[in-house]
Each structure stands twice: as structure tokens, then as C-alpha cells.
């Protein structure tokens, strides 16, 4: 009984070491846990073949890149075309972009697939492989919360939270008076709904008269002459 227990413990320990080794082999080793920096991406060379002794390979696929042969569907054989594998995996489109490929253990067999316009083939045993790791794109900073249209500003992008501007004063019906609440006006005009969103406000000349209306649950009021107005950019 003790021998059986000892053998099982030894087997489990060996399995744990193997899993740890595989995990360490297939993780990117960039200093930043989030992956390569923008500077590293900008300096990346055009993708070639995956380095025979490399642990990871950061490269760039140009627009209209040539799609060579690929075998497998993740992991891919070590001699597969990196750009084609990246497109098949969804990391890039045919427009190209940065690619991060990391080394993976060789497989006893590789199964092809057809995804994202790229078809790969089956293959038998191969001594080395690579995986494609998606590169997180930098998130653009969210626009500031909408306030009053800043003085001297002709274009102003801002963000309305859900319910922002509810019950606030609005004069006119697009154009709106310069001092109207932006978020309430945005809901009334239909450029956003009550769940909020990002709007771009364009300042225009003042009018001699503003006519109020009711739309999308927001009621605006009439007003006389005012020095300046705003409308929304629907092309954003």
C-alpha cells in the first residue's frame, strides 16, 4: 500500500513539473506583464520565420502580406507562416499589424482548420511549434464628462453618463443656445439615448430666435436672440 501511495505521489509530482515547464515555455517573457510596450511594437521587424532557438518573436505584418503555408490551428508547426497564422487566429486582419509568437512544445500531430479567410493543413509530428498571442491595443482615454461648452471652443468632445442631463434646461431644437445642457440636448436630438455615450459638439453662430420642442423624452424651451449656438457632429 505504501509503495502504491509513493508511486502515485511521485507520478503527480512529475506531472506538476511537466505542466509548470509547459506554462513557462509558452508565456511571454517581456518585462511588462501586459506584453510588449508601444516602443517595442514600433521597433519590431517585418515578420520572417519563427527563430529556431527563440522563446518569443515580436514582428510586424505589413498590409497585403503574403500568406504562406501553415500547418495546425494553434499551436502551429515551427515552419508555418507567422502572418497567415496570426490572421487565422484573429490576432490581425489582412491589413496587417504587430504579432507576438511564442514557442510551444512540438506536437505529435497538428490539425488544420479554416478561419478568418485562412485555411491551414494537417501535419504529423513536428519537433517545435509556436502559438500566436494577441497584443492588447492601447485604450484611448475616455473623453471628459460633458460640462458647459468651453468658451472659445469650436469643437468639443465629451461623454454623457446614463441619465446625465435629466431635467436640465435646454433652449432650441438644434441649434441649441450656447448655454443649453449638452447631454439633455444630445438625448433630445437623438445623437445618443438615455444610456449615454460620447458626443462631439460644434459651435456655430447665434440665432435671432430659438424654437423649443419635445423629442425623446426631453422638452426644450423657446428663447429669443442669443450670441452663439451649438449642434452635434453626426459623423463621429
Asked whether residue 101 falls in the same domain as residue 185, the answer is: no
pLDDT for residue 180: 95
Residue whose grid cell is 446614463: 162
- Would residue 203 count as lying in a domain? yes
Asked whether residue 109 falls in the same domain as residue 169, the answer is: no
Count the neighbouring beta carbons within 10 Å of the beta carbon of residue 51: 13
User: Positive or negative CA dihedral for 217, 218, 222, 227?
Assistant: negative
pLDDT tens string 155-214: 999 999 999 999 999 999 999 999 999 999 999 999 999 999 999 999 999 999 999 999
Question: Which range of residues forms the domain containing residue 53?
Answer: 25-133
Asked whether residue 34 falls in the same domain as residue 76, the answer is: yes
- Would residue 12 count as lying in a domain? no
* 12-16, 35-39, 81-85, 197-201: segment of lowest average pLDDT: 12-16
Q: Can you tell me the distance from the alpha carbon of 80 to that of 66, in angstroms, rounded to the nearest whole number?
A: 12
Boundary of a domain, candidates 85, 100, 133: 133
Asked whether residue 66 falls in the same domain as residue 118, the answer is: yes
Predicted model pTM: 0.49
As a whole number, mean pLDDT of residues 125-151 equals: 84
What's the N-to-C CA distance of the chain in angstroms?
A: 73
Q: What's the number of domains the chain is made of?
A: 2
Asked whether residue 107 falls in the same domain as residue 169, the answer is: no
- Would residue 147 count as lying in a domain? no
Asked whether residue 48 falls in the same domain as residue 119, the answer is: yes
As a whole number, mean pLDDT of residues 30-42 equals: 70
Reported confidence tier of residue 34, pLDDT bands at 50, 70, 90: low
pLDDT for residue 137: 65
- Would residue 198 count as lying in a domain? yes
pLDDT tens string 89-108: 999 998 999 999 999 999 99
Boundary of a domain, candidates 99, 133, 167: 133
Percent of the chain whose pLDDT exceeds 70: 83
pLDDT for residue 236: 62
Asked whether residue 32 falls in the same domain as residue 80, the answer is: yes
CATH number of 169's domain: 2.170.130.20
Q: Can you tell me the distance from the alpha carbon of 152 to that of 118, in angstroms, rounded to the nearest whole number?
A: 52
What integer best gives the mean pLDDT of the chain?
Answer: 85
Asked whether residue 36 falls in the same domain as residue 115, the answer is: yes
Amino acid at each position: 500500500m505504501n509503495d502504491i501511495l509513493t508511486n502515485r505521489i511521485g507520478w503527480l509530482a512529475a506531472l506538476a513539473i511537466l505542466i509548470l515547464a509547459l506554462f513557462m515555455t509558452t508565456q511571454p517573457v517581456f518585462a511588462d506583464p501586459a506584453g510588449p510596450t508601444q516602443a517595442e511594437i514600433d521597433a519590431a521587424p517585418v515578420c520572417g520565420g519563427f527563430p529556431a532557438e527563440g522563446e518569443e518573436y515580436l514582428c510586424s505584418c505589413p498590409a497585403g502580406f503574403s500568406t504562406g503555408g501553415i500547418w495546425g490551428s494553434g499551436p502551429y508547426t515551427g515552419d508555418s507562416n507567422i502572418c497567415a497564422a496570426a490572421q487565422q487566429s484573429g490576432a490581425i486582419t489582412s491589413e496587417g499589424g504587430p504579432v507576438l509568437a511564442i514557442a510551444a512544445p512540438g506536437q505529435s500531430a497538428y490539425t488544420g482548420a479554416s478561419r478568418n479567410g485562412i485555411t491551414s493543413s494537417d501535419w504529423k509530428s513536428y519537433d517545435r511549434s509556436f502559438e500566436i498571442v494577441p497584443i492588447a491595443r492601447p485604450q484611448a482615454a475616455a473623453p471628459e464628462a460633458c460640462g458647459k461648452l468651453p468658451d472659445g471652443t469650436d469643437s468639443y468632445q465629451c461623454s454623457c453618463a446614463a441619465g446625465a442631463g435629466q431635467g436640465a434646461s435646454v433652449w432650441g431644437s438644434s441649434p441649441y443656445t450656447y448655454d443649453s445642457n449638452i447631454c439633455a440636448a444630445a438625448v433630445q436630438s437623438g445623437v445618443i439615448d438615455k444610456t449615454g455615450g460620447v458626443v462631439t459638439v460644434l459651435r456655430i453662430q447665434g440665432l435671432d430666435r430659438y424654437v423649443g420642442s419635445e423629442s425623446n423624452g426631453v422638452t426644450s424651451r423657446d428663447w429669443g436672440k442669443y450670441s452663439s449656438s451649438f449642434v452635434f457632429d453626426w459623423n463621429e
